[in-house]
Amino acid sequence: MTPQFLCVQCKRKTDALDRGMYRKFVSGTDEKFLCLHCLSEKFGIPEDIFREKAEFLQRNCALFY
């Protein structure tokens, strides 16, 4: 069974996309994460644009697993 990682800010369950973006832009070694919604707010980027970039990176970056 895989561990459940929750967003440290809003307590939503995070998925590989959330964790990959956090590792890519904040810390590659942390085991606590922000969901895409909270991460996009942190950087001041609209969530839909941030999600689009995340999906692109997910196809092309090894940090998304």
- pLDDT digits 0-9 by tens, 1-45: 556 789 999 999 998 888 888 888 888 778 889 999 999 999 999
* Residues 59, 6: Cα–Cα separation, whole Å: 23
Q: Give the count of beta carbons closer than 10 Å to the beta carbon of residue 2.
A: 5
Q: What is the pLDDT of residue 65?
A: 55
What angle in degrees, to the nearest 10, is found between the helix axes of 47-60 and 16-25? 90
Q: Sign (positive/negative) of CA torsion 56, 63, 19, 24?
A: negative
pTM above 0.85, yes or no: no
Q: What is the pLDDT of residue 17?
A: 86
